[in-house]
Structure 1
C-alpha cells in the first residue's frame, strides 16, 4: 500500500496562491470555514506578481465620466461580444469595491495630485481606468493579500493559540488529482515537491486558481508554473473547458537577447505615451485599425498625440487598440520584412517623456532592459514582439457563483476560469477579474460546504490509482520529459500560434496524439526528492491535454475573432458569436461540442449604438435579444 500523508480535513481547499486564490481563501475564511491553500511555488512567488500595468476599475478618479456601464461596454467590445455578459457585468460593477478594499487592507497605490488613487490609460479602455503602483502593481496586490492572510492567522491564534487552525498554506505542493465521492468533490491528491511524498486533503469544496497554460508555447511571458494544471484537473474531474481556442499573444514581449525572449513589456509603456515604429521609422498602427473600431481611434499622428493632452477633443492613439489587434499588426509588419534586426518592432517612449518621468512611471521596465538587454529606454527604443500571455478560455463556471455546473463542489476563478473575457482580454481586467471572482468563488464555496448535511468521503482506491499514475515515470521507459516538452512547445508555436490554418492545426493534432502516446513511456531517473524531471513528466499530462483542447477548438471555429486568427477564415462571422465551444474528456478521449452563447440582457444592449451591434449580431438575433 502506498504511503500517503493525510492532513486534517478542511472545508475549502484553494489550489493556487496568486491573486484569485488568496482572495478566495480570505473570503472563505471570513465566512468561518477552515481553509487550505496549496501553492506550487513558495508563498508570494505566484505569477500574479508579474502583473505590471494596473487593476481596471471604473472609479472615475482621473475622468469623472467613467462608470461601470462604460467599463462593461469596453470589456464586451474587447471580447468581440463573446463574453458571458453576466460575468462582464459583475466584474464592471464590483471592481471599484475590490480596489478600495485592497486600499483598506494596506495597498499603497500611486496617487493623483488631490490624493485619490491614480488611474492610467490602457488599450481598449475609453478612460484612464487602471489603478497602479508604478509598473509593479501585481507585486503590491500579492503583498497586500498575503498580509491579510497573516492578519487572519493572527486572529485565529488569539482565539485558539494556533496560527494555522483556520487557514493553512501548503508551500511547494502540487495537486495531481481532484478526488471525488460519486459526482461531487471529496478532496485533492498530490505530492510535496521537496520530499516527493504524497499527500491528500479531504474537503467538500475545491477552488481552482492555478492561472494559465503558457508553458505549452515556446515564447511566453508566463512563469514556470503555468502548465495548465487547473484546466487539466477540471477536465479529469468531469468539468468542461470553454472556448479554449482563444489564446492572447501580448503584443510587446522582449525579443532580445534570446535568453529573455518573451518577457513582458508592460502595456503601461504605450498607455503613458510610447509609440510603435517599424524598421523604416514609420508609426504603422494607423494602417491596422479594424473596421469595427473606425471612428474610435485617431487617423493621424497629430490627432493621436493631441489625445494625451486633451482626451475629450481627440480620439485614442491606435497603439491603444486591444491587444489582439496590436499583436496581429506587429506580426504583419515583421512578416512583410519591416521588422527590427531581431524580429520585432520598435517601442519608443524615450522621445515622448523626460528620462526622470520614465524612471518614475516605469521603474521595472527601465531596470529590466538596462540589466537584461543593455538598453536604456530613456534614450533608445525597445525591441518588442508578440508573446503568449493569457488564455481567455477556461473552466466553465456559473457567472454568479464561480461553480462548475458539472461537478458539485468545484469552483474556478482567475485565468483558469472561462467566459469573462470572451475572445480577447483587455489589459488590466485580469487583476480586477481575479479579485471579483476570487471573492465570489471563496464565498460560494464556503456556503456550499456549510450547507452540506453529509460530507463526502475519500476513497482509498482513487488515492492508490493517483499514486500509481504519479509513480509511472519511474518505471522503465524510453522518452525524456524535456525533449517531449520542447517538441510540444515547438508544435504549438509553429502550428497553433498567432496565425492559424486548417492544414497546420490538423498536423498539430496528429503530432499531439503521438506526443500523448510517447508521454506514456516517459522515464525519469533518481528519486522523488525534488526531482525536476519527474515534476515536468507529471506536468506534461496537463499541457498535452490542454494543448489538444486549444487545437481542436481552433480547428472547429471557422472565423477570426479576438485571440483566434484563421488565415483561411479571415473574417469575423456574426453567426459564430452565438457559439461557445466546450471541451470535455470521456474515457481519455477529448471532444469539442458547440453550445449556445447566452443572450445578452436587453438593458445592457441598450448601452451600445445599434449600428455597432449590427457588426456582431445578425438582425434576427438582435431583434430576439432586444425583446
Structure 2
C-alpha cells in the first residue's frame, strides 16, 4: 500500500518513473557521483541518467542463497554498484535467517510465513509432537520468556504479568532451534518443523486474522491451516549489513551517493527485530532525501559523465551478448547459491567459510565467461548474467566479514567461536575495494550517546516503566 501511494503521488507530481529499469553501474566525475547507466530489462535498451545525487534503495542480496524469502530482484545491485564505485560496506556478516519459510513443495521453498502466525498463538512442534522451543531459551532472554505452556497461554490471553512464549524469541534463536531439531532427526518430513495454529485457534479466527497465510498455503501447498499444521524452516530473509552511510544524512564516503533501507548497513546492528524494517525505510528514506537535497543545493561544481566511462560499462554488458560460447549464467547462479547455502548458512565455522571463499574465488572465472548469445531484447539469460556481477560481490563480502568475526553475535553464529566476546562490541567490519581486490578489516566503533546506550541495554521492564536515566 505504501508503494502504491508513493507511485500515485509521483504520477500526480509529474515525477518520472522508470519501471523495469535496472541500474548497471554508477558514473563518477572525479570523486563525485555524476550519473548512472541502466537498461530496460524487456527491450535491452540502455539509458544514461545524468544527476548530481543518487539514493540507492535496492534492498539486500538474498538471491545469493538457495533458500530465501527474497523475490527475484534481490540480487545485491546497490551493494555491487556502490562497491565498484568505491563505497564501503559494513556489517556484512550479519545476515538474518527468518525461522519460518515454506519448505514444501520445492517450487515455493523459502517463501515467508509471517511472524503473525506465532504472534497469534501458533506453536512450533517437532516430529514427536513436542513443543521444543522451551528447550532453546538462551540465558540472556530467560527473564523475559515463559518456561511453561501455562504461562505462555496466559501471555496470549493478555496477562501482563506473564512472559512471552518462546516461539517469539529473536529470529536467529528460533531458526537455530529448528535447524538443531532437524539435525537430531526430529524434523518434519520435508526438513523443517511443524507450525501449528489449527489446534490453538478457531477456523474463523485464523481466516480473519491471517487471511494471507490461509490463502498462501491453500493455493501453494494445498494445505488448510485451519485444520492441519504447516511445515516451516529457516530462510534467508534480510541483510543487517550494507552500504556504510552517515547516520544523519545517509551519505556514503562518495560525495553525492546516498543509501537507505536494507541496502544501507548499520541501522540494526547484529540482529533486526521483526517489523523494524518498515519504520527504518520511512525514517531513513526521509533523511536520505533531505541529505541528497541539501548536498545538491550546496554543490557548486559542474558535473559530467565521461564518454569513456559510459562506454566501458556498455561494453562489459554487451560482451556477454557477443560471445559465441561460454558458461550458462543460470548454472553459475545455482552454483553460487549452493556455495552460500552450504558454507555460509545459519551456523558457520572458520573452516567452512574459508572453503566457501575459495570456491567463490574460483567461480569468478566462470562469471567472467558467462554468455547469453542473442538479442538484448526479451533475453532473461542476459539479465541473469548481468545480475551475477553483483551477486558475487555480495557473496564474497558476507563470507569475508563472517570469517573475520571470530565470535557469535546476533544473527552471526560460529560453532568454533561460541558466545559473544566483549571486544566484539568495539569494532565493525568494513569491506572496500582495493587495487588487489576486496579487503575486509576491523575498525574501531564509536561509542553511542548515553541516552541511546541506556535504551539499547535496558530490559523490557525498564523500557515499559520508562525508568531510564532515573
TM-score for the superposition, normalised by structure 1: 0.72
What does the per-residue CA deviation read over 1:587-611, in whole Å, with 9 as the maximum and x for residues that have no partner?
A: 3610001111220212333346789
Q: CA deviation at 1:292?
A: 1.2
Which of 285, 289, 292 is the matching residue for 1:445? 292
Residues 49-448 of structure 1: pairs in structure 2 closer than 5 A: 140-153=1-14, 167-404=15-252, 406-448=253-295
Change (3 A) 1:193 1:604: closer
C-alpha change, 1:260 and 1:602, in structure 2 (3 Å) is same
CA contact (8 A) 2:10 2:17 kept: no
Q: Deviations over 1:18-60 (max 9, x none)?
A: xxxxxxxxxxxxxxxxxxxxxxxxxxxxxxxxxxxxxxxxxxx
Q: Secondary structure at the match of 2:144?
A: coil
Mapped partners of 2:79, 2:204: distance in 1: 43
Of the three residues 413, 438, 445, the one matched with 1:597 is 445
The residue that corresponds to 2:312 in the other structure is: 465
Shift of the 225–299 alpha-carbon distance from structure 1 to 2, 3 Å rule, reads same
> What SS does structure 2 have at the residue aligned with 1:427?
coil
- Structure 1: state its 5+ residue gaps: 1-139, 154-166, 613-625
**How many aligned positions are there?**
460
**Is the 8 Å Cα contact of residues 25 and 36 (structure 2) preserved in structure 1?**
yes
Q: 1:349 to 1:611 in 2, by over 3 A?
A: closer
Pairwise CA distance, 1:240? 0.5
SS in 1 for 2:7: helix
Greater mean alpha carbon deviation, residues 476-485 or residues 529-538: 476-485
Query: Match of 2:413, SS?
Result: coil
Q: Could you tell me which residue of structure 2 aligns to residue 576 of structure 1?
A: 424
- Give CA-to-partner distance per residue, 1:92-121, whole Å, 9 cap, x none: xxxxxxxxxxxxxxxxxxxxxxxxxxxxxx
Q: Give the TM-score of the pair, scaled to structure 2.
A: 0.95
Superposition map of 1:15-34 within 5 A: none
Give yes or no for contact 2:325–2:373 (8 Å, CA) kept in 1.
no
Q: What displacement does 1:280 show? A: 0.9
Unaligned runs of 5+ residues in structure 2 are: 461-468
CA distance 1:179–1:351, shift in 2 (3 Å): same
SS in 2 for 1:221: coil
CA distance in 1, matches of 2:85, 2:400: 20
Q: Deviations over 1:520-562 (max 9, x none)?
A: 1111121110211111111111001110011111111101111
Distance 2:114 2:369 in 1: 40
